[in-house]
Structure formats: C-alpha cells, structure tokens
Structure 1
C-alpha cells in the first residue's frame, strides 16, 4: 500500500523547477522581456503579462534556496538544514527540544559544509570532546574523550555498539548524535562520558535521487562520492553510497590517507505497517607512512612542541582498517499504539598498524664521540586485531493510558557477542645506523634525523629500512552480554513530563593471553557479573516552546572492558591479582544535570544550556595492586556548563554552535599526590561555531572555527602529569583554528563548493601521549573544491 509521502516527488520536483526558473526571472530579465513584447502586443496584454510575471516572481521569492534538494533525513527540521528536530533512536519518544538530556546532533548538511570527512576530525571539532593518541595509546584507531571520560569504545551505529577500534568515515552518515553524560540505560556498559551514535543513510520510498560529488584539492586530494536512491514500484527501494578518497596529509607528504567504501540499503515495505531493511557497509582505510606528528622538547616549565619536525614515518609503515557489516531491521506497527523496532547485525573488521615514533634526545657521533641533540627514531610500534561480532536489539513501544495519563513505554532486549583476537608484528631494520646512543666513540647503533654538524638525513623516510612480519595472536578477548530495558515517558500534567529508564546487563567475559612466539598460554581469565543502571528526567514547560529540566543518570565500566588493552589496567584492560582477574567492582559514574531548551523562530532554531556534574567512583587506576581491596582506588569529578545553538538565526543564516566550560578534579587515588589535580587530556574550555549565510538564491558562504584551551597528557581516568613544582609535564598548547567555505548553485542540478581548512595555516596539536613522544599535529591548510551534480 502506498503511503501519502510517496506523493511528494512531483511537488518537490515542481518546487525545484520553479526555483530554477526564479534565477532566470530576475528584474532585468522581466524588463528585457517587456521591451521585446511591447511593440508586438496590445498595451493591455503587455500590462497583464508583466503583472502576472511580477506576481509569479513575488511568489517564487518565497523559495528559500535556489534548487534546494529534497531532504532524505526525516529527522531534520524542514527549512533549517543545521537543525535536527528528533533523534533517530526510537527510544527517544519526544523531540530533541523536549528530551531531558544534552544531545548534540550534526546533520548531513552541516557535515557537508564543514568539509571534514573522517569522524575523528568531525568529533574533534565539537565542544566538550578532546582527542587522545590512538596507536600506542592502546587504541588502534580513533580515540575520543567526552567530558574527560574515555569513549573510544562508546561508538554506536544506528544504536548498536561498533566494537572495532578502527578509523571511521562519514560518507554514509545521515546524522551524528552525541549524547553527553553517563548513558548506560541506553547504551549498556561504558558510556561514562557519553556516547556517539552514527545514523546511516537508509533507502526511502519518499523520493528518488541521484547525487554525485567529485572533489579535488591541494595535497593531491581526490574524493568521489555518490548517493543514489531509487524506488521500484510502491513497495521496494534501493539506496547506494560509494566512496573513493585519497590525499597526502597536508604539508606532511609522503604521509598519505586513502579511503574506499560502499554502503548499500534495500527497503521492502510490505504495507504501511511493516517494513524490512537490509544493509551492507564496507570500508577500507589505509594511511601510508602514517604521521605521528611532532614531539615535545625541553623541560618544565619550558616544555614545548618541537619546531619544524620533518616527516619521519618510515616508508613501509601503515595504519589500516577493513570493515564489513550486514544489518537487518524490521519496523512493524502491530497496532495503532504498539510498534516493534528490531535491529540485527553481523560484522567483521580487521585493524592493524606498524608505525614509527620519534623524540628529541642526546646522541653521539660514533667516529668522533661528539655529543649533539637531534630527533631520533624509536623502535616502532605494532599491533593487529580481528573483530567478529553479532548483535541484536528489539524495542517494543506501547502508548497506553494508565491512571488517567498517557504513557509511552519502551521495552527492550539486546544480545551481543563480541570477539576480538589480537597480536603484533615483528620488526626488522635493514638501514645503516647513523648515530650512537651512548657516550664516546664506537659503532653506531641508532637512527638520527641529523648528523653531529646538524646536516639533515637526505631520505629520512627510508632511514631505518623498516619491514614488519605479522605474528600470531597473543590475546583472545570475548564478551557475551544480554540486556533488558524498560523506559517510560509520561505527561504528568500539561506542563510536567517525566522520563524514567532502567537497564540490566548480564555479561560473561573471557580473556586468554599467550606468548605468540612460543604459543604458550600465559593466562586465562574469566568472570561474569550483572550491571544495573538507570536514568530519570523531569521537565517543565515554561511555555510550549521553552522547557527546563533536571535529570540523573548512571553508567558503569567493567574490569577488562576495553578489548584493545588486554591487561593494561590503566587503559581499561583487566586488573589482575595473583594471576587471576581481580574481583574489582565496576567503575560507576553518576551524572546530575539541570538544563533548558528553547525552540525559537517558528521552531527553526534550538537553544540549549546545561549545568552538570559527573562523579566517577571505584576507578581502576592501574597501580601496582598487591593487596585485596586496592582495586577500586580512584574517584574523580567533572563539573561544567554547556551551551548549544543550532538552526536558522534568520531565513538566510544557519548556525551550529557550542561552548563547554568544564572543571575536573581527582578526589581519591592510590597515589596521594594525584588528589586535587585535574584529569589528563582535559580541556577546560572549548568552543565551536559553523555559520552559513545564503547571500542569494545561488550563492552562500560561511566559516567555522574551534578553540580548545591547553590541556595536560597522562593516563586515562587519572590525574594529569605534573612536575613537583606544579608544571604540566606533557602539555598540549591551546589553539584556535578557522575554516572557510563557499558554494554556488549554477542550476537545480549542479553546484560547486570550495572549502579552505585551517585558513591561517596554524600549527596546532590535538593530543599527546603520556611520555610526550607523540604529539598529534592538526592538518595544515588545505583547499578542497567539490562539484556536486544531481541527476
């Protein structure tokens, strides 16, 4: 049965055709037409035609943007492309403006305009989120820190956890939802600082479209994407997205990145009450000679980033990911007030890296014994992991009247089976040593950027002649979990609304460690536990468009919950005691939040503000646990204030803006000196703004900027590293970076966009490893031209 939305294509195309016509019917064109027709037609006929054309023109001026294409995302506010009106997670039964929680949403339009493509770049530009080092920070790919809490495993795709520590791309994302604050009632284990939920592009019967984008730019950048949706009859639709991208890292060649992806979605709508969607997602990413950036030099208080560090990643180094998933979803309206949403996914991913780090050190000329300071290569860092996972989630929504009020119940069940097998590579070097690590004359045994006279190595990326061979596995991490949820949203009065949710997670964790050169098992650890978490919110409508709310929510991280960390307990790996997994309690986070949300300007603009406090207790710090009872020795607190603004400030000005003012403190620690210090990798202030102005029907331009205050590196969940005199040992300087973009639409079908990233070509740094030997450098200035064609 064909639902009413199928009738849209004709009216949408008519609107787009009229919009195209409006560009032609300018005042000048009307004047010329009148001059030509005047001698040929009676005066009255001319007057009538000009009058009719002028009325036509006035009517057409109501079209907001020339050739504005139909929006394929039903969650976006009509006429406000930067504003999402609702979450794509069906468990949020109310619009975002009425949800008692901080949820920031980036729409597809905002993502496109930004010119950012990797998820790490996108999220790194958001307030309240900082980045950590990935490789050798015990994460294989992107690493996110939300409100000071680790979130590298708290990435979800369409509401299901994505367990692979991989490089993630945005080409198939319809909108990106960032939930702030503990979120275990929705997401299960982890989510102490929040969760990231990527909503993928789905096939639709609403309208057909074929969109192709071709990009070229500086640093040999090439990027091609296509997004094609086609309906077949009244019941079936297919949608395909493809990606091909390759570029040198801006100003850091020969380091380069390549991305290839395919996302396919098929929709079968058996009736207006039942639909089934089957998706496939595949992504291949590879960084050649991956750039680990700069490093810190000097001692506190003069510890600063090194200057003009050359590209030192070795030619055979790499960082790559391969991901394949198949997802089936069912949306079934069982009765007018009863709806079942079911999601099932099977996926495999493979991630691996061989990278080279560098630092500043004193070295010696083997021939003369002369001492000098130079950049030096380290011995390399390697790892691989193979992920195999299955997950199913079903949610039943029931709207019913109880005690005279309407309840919106959600009852859910979720099962997950995630297995991660990992190992490393053996590294061999064939390059000739060119410096000595110990004082005096003698045989060289190190690799240095320069000689004792300061002359740089001519071919630094081939200095070590580094090659790697994959070894067998040294860790088998496996978790099975079953979760049950119950949620309810109820209007207590016409102004008061309450939300409540509870979740129970029963998990079974197994961890096997072995020596991958002898294949001898060195440890086998297993345990089971059940987590209970909840979320409670109460909102009050001061006006129909303005609410204030209060909420409380909890989250729990489990012992050994980070698959990439093994027994590195300071990074979320398993805490051991007497060669057994310790009986540690889950780390527990409690968040209290007071906030306000205001829908403005005919619902085209949403303003938000939130005051919150998150306290995390029973933190497993990774100390040398030698007695029972010291496993949960840490406690920390994060307090802050966040603001957000998204949508249309005027009919022509769109904004996405946010600001976060945060403060953190270690409240308890096995290391007494840590108490009172701020958390590591924590920025107290961060701002972001993206604004676009539609100057004419055809031309728009905009800018985006982001600022992060300085922060101090260290181990996750513990105090930042400070010297005895109170100076940060591994500082990341504050930065402010601006981008710019502009677009011109030549016709309904064709437009061009130019993005200039890091306009001022500023050297800035996004993350530091706790030793200071990695200081990730943000991209230098890059120019991107994108041609968009809609067939």
Structure 2
C-alpha cells in the first residue's frame, strides 16, 4: 500500500451514490463503442483483444473503508495507517471487530464487546482505584492503553461504539506505536468519517426487554464534489437485566467533516460528545467458601451514580507531495469527567445478634481530565538498494492533566447492625435482618447526602515522542518490518493527604522501545512470521491511584521516585496467517511469550512500596478466523490458551503463582448464516475460564469467579433495500455468570442476564 493509497481507501457502495456508479454507464459506453467500431473490427479480425472481466459487487452492508468488500466480518486494513501492510501481512496478532459484526452481536458499550474477546478480562475498582471501563489484555493492565484513531484516549470513562467503524485489539507489547504502557496490548477505535464517495441517511430504533430503547442516526451528506459531512446521533437507555432499578443511559453526538481542498491538500475535522449516566450495580460477592452469592438482593441506593462526560475535538490536515510522499498532522483537544458514588456489598456477621448478614459499603471519587495531543506522520515509499521501503516518520507531543478528588458524604440513615472492620467494630448498614429476611426499603437505607470534595491529586505528564518505522520488501517472499521510538516525559503529581499536606512527585526520563518482524510468504495465500516487540511503563503511570503503590500508582517516596526504573516488557511471537476463500477469510495462529521485568511492588496498600522487584511472564497460543467460510456463512472466531507465572517478587510466597484478573482459557465464536436473500440467522458463544481476584500484574489471591459459557442469538431480515430488522437475544440460557471480582472477594460483577431487543433500520 503506497503512502497515497491509505488516504484514497474508499468503500464501494451502490446506495444512493453521490456520483453515477461505474456499472450503469460503463455498460452503455462499451455497447456504443462496440457498435461504432464494428467495421474496424471486421477489417482487423486477425487482431483480438481480451478485456478484463468486469465485476460488480453487491451493495455493501456498511461503509467501513477498511473492511474486505463482500466479507462484512473481515477487515482488510488497520485504521492505523502506520501499519502499512494489509492485516494478513502484518506480523502481529491483531483482532479487528467490524461495525457489522458488532451490531450483529447485540453489544453497544465497548466494555461489553471487549469482555467477550479472547485474551481479555475486566478489572474492578475500589476506593483507591477508580470505577469505570478497565481492560486487562493478556494478563496486564490496559485501562490507559485505549486509543481513538491512533491518539490516546485518557481517563476512566464509559465508552460507546455508535461512532466507530471498527475496534482493533493489538496483542502484545507495542510501545513503538502506542508509546508508554501497552504491556499486554492496546485498543484502538476507528471512527466514522465523512466521505464524498457516497451519500446516505440511516435511522435505527430499537425496543426490548428491561425497558431497553436505542435510537441512532448515521448520515453522510455530500455538499460538493470536494466537501462532505457525517453526523451520528445516539440515545440509549436500559435497565440492567434482573437488577432494576440499576440502569444505563447514553447520549452522544459525533460530527465529522472532510474537505479535499486541492488534489494534494485535504482537511478533516470531527467533534465527539458522550454523556453516560449509570445507576450502577456492583453485583455480588464471594462467600467464605469462595462461591458467588447467586441470590443477592438489589442493594444500590437512590443516591448512587456513575457518570461520564466526554468532549473531544480533532483536526487533521494531509498533503501529498508526490504519489509516494504524504504528510499528515492531527491535533486533538479533549476533556473528560468521571464521577461516582457507588455501594458495595459483602457477606458479614452482625456483632450484635451474631447472625450472618450482608453489609453495605460506600465508594466514591471524581476525575477531571484535560488533554492535548499533536502528531505528525510522514509516509515515504521509496526504493533503496533495489528494495522497496515504506517509511513512517513520526513526532508527537501530548499533555495530560488530571485532577482527582473525593466527595464529602454524610450518611443520614439509621444504622441497623454492628460490623467488624479494619479499625475495629462500628455501626453499619445491613440488608439482611437477623431472621434472614430482606430489610424494607433497601434503596433508602443509607440516605446519603453529598457534595463535591477537595482535590486529592494534581497529575500532569508531558511527553515528546519521535519514531521511525520501515517495512522493506526484501524479495518477493520476504518482508522485514522494524521500528524504534523514544518518549521523553516530564511527570508531576501533587498528592494531598487527609491532613491537607501536599507531597510533590516530580521526575523525567526517556523510554526507548522498538519492534522487528520478519514475514515469509509461502504463496499468495499464506505466510509465516516471527516478531519481537517491547513496551515500557513509568512509576505512577496511572493517574487515578494517587500515592498508592498498586494498580499502577506511585511507588516509593518523593525523594526516590526518580531512582525507579521503568517497567519493561518484551514479547516474542511466531505465527502464520492465511488469506483464503478469495481473500474473504483470514485464518491466523500465533504462539507468544511476554516477559515483564522491573515490576513495581508494594508490601501492602498502607506502606511505601519497594522498587522494581517483580517479574512475571505470560505465554500462550491464540488462533482466530474472520470472514466468509462460504458465500452464505460468515464467522468471527478466536481462542486463547495462556499460562501466567510470577517469576520474582518481593513477597517470595507469591513466586510461582498465576496473575490476578487473568483467564488462562477463553474463546469467542460468532456465526452468521444467510438462510435466504432476505433472512440471516446467527449465534455467538463466549467461554471464559475462572478468573482469580487481585491486583493486575501481581500474584492472584485464592478467590476467583467461576468459569462460564454464555450463548447469544440473532436474526436479520431485509424487507426492502431500505428497510430491515434485527432481533437479538443475549444470554439465551439465562446463565448466572461473573466477570471479575475485587481482591477481597467483594464487587463480583454480575454478567447481564437474558435480554432481548428488536431493532428496525431505515435507509433513505
């Protein structure tokens, strides 16, 4: 793919095209030409001309320019243009979920989608570790390794997919592309952009069980031959299945514009806003026998909330100096706000009556993020020493400022039990009476009043990055991809203690990372590859943890923080990729080995941690398939078998144990069968082995949520070319399952119970 080709990727769509479709005019032109030239043809019968076969594709299901035409579950290219080769030729494990596959799955929040993917698990929050979307990839923390169109998307927020063309999950350390962090991998959302190649309006409306409602608009308007705008709107609401009044509400807008100013110069801009309002349910807990309580009442309080507001502006400019030299610059400014007061529950004993009960706890915090980023990429394709080279030169500047704080809360309800605690017994709130019955009016038990409290941390990190990457076609069969990146950062974090004393943590360093991959093309369909990549994360890299050593927070005192080493990771991977079924099906298999060294550790949450004493490793095998198995049968499949081990630890008892929040076996399978030209039916299954509690990147506790298998089903029916319907039934068997739990056994997140929804889509 040339430097200019990435810009010119466009989907083929015959839905109300902005310009006449090729097939309509070309057939007439060919017939007229044949008639006019027939005498000449008869005079020169000895000369024959063989024309290429004209293929007219069926209209596309979506407008994703990176998808494989005719295979809606398969992406051909990454949305990150720095990956210059097709995905089938990229020497790395990359899972790509297209818009069509996501819609068929019936999942809307990014957290739901990623929780089903192999090699990924979810993490939990608690008092010193914010609640919000938290992802763990191949056993390593990734909550800050989320990107949108290649730029980091910071902050603990709720993320939706209404404005995304596809979701890309890169597995293994990848700091050359992502910068600091990305130990286990990174997630990149590719947004819907405006295009002058087609015009359409699509409205979707859905209703379902649990008061589900969802309405979206996706509109691409061609204003002139060179200017287009695209608008996406969202409103969604639903109760949490079987956990009402817990609910989730989403409201969003995404507006994008594109202007091809000249043949060489183009501009793009977009605005994104999302408001997410949850009345959260933290689920159940693990009892003394390490089993989840499957029959816990809904205990959230009327004052509970988990709210995120995200607002982002992005502006891009590109210039083609030649067909082989392109410069792109992107500037982004954004703010996010995340606030929560949530209630937890845990099995306990009432010290007054001596009877078993369930006690409630309060967890709260707020976070405000202000960030700016500017990245410049120069794509240069050239021939050196007779070899074709595809260079990518990049510079990036980013500034992330984060303020964290807590709420001032007063509990005004009358206590009804006495519970043991870390600092002795104290009056508490219990939802189970001494006779074993539920107390009345559980949601009004605590009767909180609250106000926004003072700031507790003032976090800032400024980073300047430079990188160079090259992909070299050594021969017709051998491809070499390599890159190196340097990130120079200035870190400041002012942490305010409960007594009002400020401690300033301040240091700077430079992180060097790289990757190298070698691919051998066996034939036109398949290849084998070997790759090596690294990643690095800094001390205190996670902004929501403050001065706590754990969950990526600060380790050590302010005087010695600069003496800490970055946490370093390296990954070795060998694999094979096969692009079969006329390039409509991509099969992959890979074996990998990740080692993370110089891991920050703390003896416990209350004491200063030791520096760079930990080491762990994860190795495993991952296989996948994406695309069309036959003309009628499509699939997305992935399965991972992994093994994790703590190799070295300050706490010798931890050595040899597995990692927390880690599933050693996981699988996802989605199938879609086109039963008739109008009717498609499908199913999906998710399997996850048991997941042990604890802090990610550290040894697991002896508590765990059990393994589970969940099945979904869907059907699509096309009444006309403009009107269609989709029915989704998720968790068909109404399985009781749990996604993750906190290290103490509390916050055992409950997976959604059976739910159904019907969606109508109209295109005009």
TM above 0.5, yes or no, is yes
Deviation at 1:336?
1.4
Q: Distance in 1 between matches of 2:14 and 2:732?
A: 40
Q: Distance in 2 between matches of 1:585 and 1:592?
A: 22
Deviation at 1:445?
2.5
1:601 aligns with 2:588: no
Question: How big is each residue's C-alpha offset from its partner over 1:113-157, in whole Å with a ceiling of 9 and x where there is no partner?
Answer: 111000000000000001111354713311100000000000000
Q: Distance in 2 between matches of 1:263 and 1:506?
A: 33
1:255 aligns with 2:228: no
Aligned residue number for residue 37 of structure 1: none
Query: Residues 787, 599 of structure 1: CA spacing in aligned structure 2 closer, same or farther, 3 A cutoff?
Result: same
Query: Residues 522, 552 of structure 1: CA spacing in aligned structure 2 closer, same or farther, 3 A cutoff?
Result: same
Aligned residue number for residue 357 of structure 2: 374
Could you tell me the TM-score, scaled by structure 2's length? Answer: 0.92
1:167 aligned residue (143, 147, 158) = 158
Is 2:166–2:189's contact at 8 Å kept on the other side of the alignment? Answer: yes
Question: How big is each residue's C-alpha offset from its partner over 1:328-365, in whole Å with a ceiling of 9 and x where there is no partner?
Answer: 0122211111011221100011101001111011114x
Deviation at 1:555?
0.1
Deviation at 1:457?
1.2
The SS at the match of 2:104 is helix
Question: How big is each residue's C-alpha offset from its partner over 1:78-108, in whole Å with a ceiling of 9 and x where there is no partner?
Answer: 0000000010111011000000000110000
Q: Distance in 2 between matches of 1:429 and 1:464?
A: 6
Aligned residue number for residue 283 of structure 2: 293
Q: Distance in 1 between matches of 2:474 and 2:559?
A: 54
Q: Distance in 2 between matches of 1:652 and 1:137?
A: 50
Query: Residues 653, 95 of structure 1: CA spacing in aligned structure 2 closer, same or farther, 3 A cutoff?
Result: same
1:756 aligned residue (714, 723, 729) = 729
Deviation at 1:10?
7.6
Query: Residues 495, 545 of structure 1: CA spacing in aligned structure 2 closer, same or farther, 3 A cutoff?
Result: same
Q: Report matched runs for 1:76-95 at 5 Å.
A: 76-95=67-86
Is 2:221–2:228's contact at 8 Å kept on the other side of the alignment? Answer: yes
Q: Report matched runs for 1:389-408 at 5 Å.
A: 389-408=371-390
Uncovered stretches (5+) of structure 2, i.e. residues with no partner: 1-6, 25-54
Question: How big is each residue's C-alpha offset from its partner over 1:669-713, in whole Å with a ceiling of 9 and x where there is no partner?
Answer: 000011111111111100000110011111001001100011211
1:121 aligns with 2:112: yes
Query: Residues 116, 363 of structure 1: CA spacing in aligned structure 2 closer, same or farther, 3 A cutoff?
Result: same
Question: How big is each residue's C-alpha offset from its partner over 1:644-666, in whole Å with a ceiling of 9 and x where there is no partner?
Answer: 10000000111000000000101
Uncovered stretches (5+) of structure 1, i.e. residues with no partner: 20-61, 722-727
Q: Report matched runs for 1:164-563 at 5 Å.
A: 164-288=155-279, 290-298=280-288, 302-364=289-351, 369-378=352-361, 380-437=362-419, 445-515=427-497, 520-563=500-543
Q: Distance in 2 between matches of 1:773 and 1:152?
A: 20
Question: How big is each residue's C-alpha offset from its partner over 1:341-397, in whole Å with a ceiling of 9 and x where there is no partner?
Answer: 221100011101001111011114xxxx5321011112x011001100000111101
Is 1:9–1:206's contact at 8 Å kept on the other side of the alignment? Answer: no
Q: Distance in 1 between matches of 2:539 and 2:60?
A: 49
Aligned residue number for residue 709 of structure 1: 689
Is 1:523–1:579's contact at 8 Å kept on the other side of the alignment? Answer: no
Q: Distance in 2 between matches of 1:715 and 1:3?
A: 45
Is 1:711–1:731's contact at 8 Å kept on the other side of the alignment? Answer: yes
Q: Distance in 2 between matches of 1:630 and 1:515?
A: 20
Aligned residue number for residue 776 of structure 1: 749
Deviation at 1:577?
2.7
Q: Distance in 2 between matches of 1:144 and 1:228?
A: 31
Q: Distance in 1 between matches of 2:628 and 2:749?
A: 35
Deviation at 1:716?
1.7
Q: Distance in 1 between matches of 2:363 and 2:561?
A: 27
Deviation at 1:3?
9.0
Q: Distance in 2 between matches of 1:228 and 1:165?
A: 29
Is 2:549–2:609's contact at 8 Å kept on the other side of the alignment? Answer: no
Aligned residue number for residue 662 of structure 1: 642
Deviation at 1:63?
8.9
Is 2:16–2:199's contact at 8 Å kept on the other side of the alignment? Answer: no
1:785 aligns with 2:729: no
Aligned length: 724
Q: Distance in 1 between matches of 2:237 and 2:412?
A: 29
The SS at the match of 2:494 is strand
Question: How big is each residue's C-alpha offset from its partner over 1:717-762, in whole Å with a ceiling of 9 and x where there is no partner?
Answer: 11111xxxxxx2x111000000000011100110110100110111
The SS at the match of 1:475 is strand
Aligned residue number for residue 143 of structure 1: 134
Deviation at 1:436?
2.8
Question: How big is each residue's C-alpha offset from its partner over 1:241-276, in whole Å with a ceiling of 9 and x where there is no partner?
Answer: 000011111110001110000000011111232211
The SS at the match of 2:114 is helix
Question: How big is each residue's C-alpha offset from its partner over 1:158-178, in whole Å with a ceiling of 9 and x where there is no partner?
Answer: 000011110111110110010
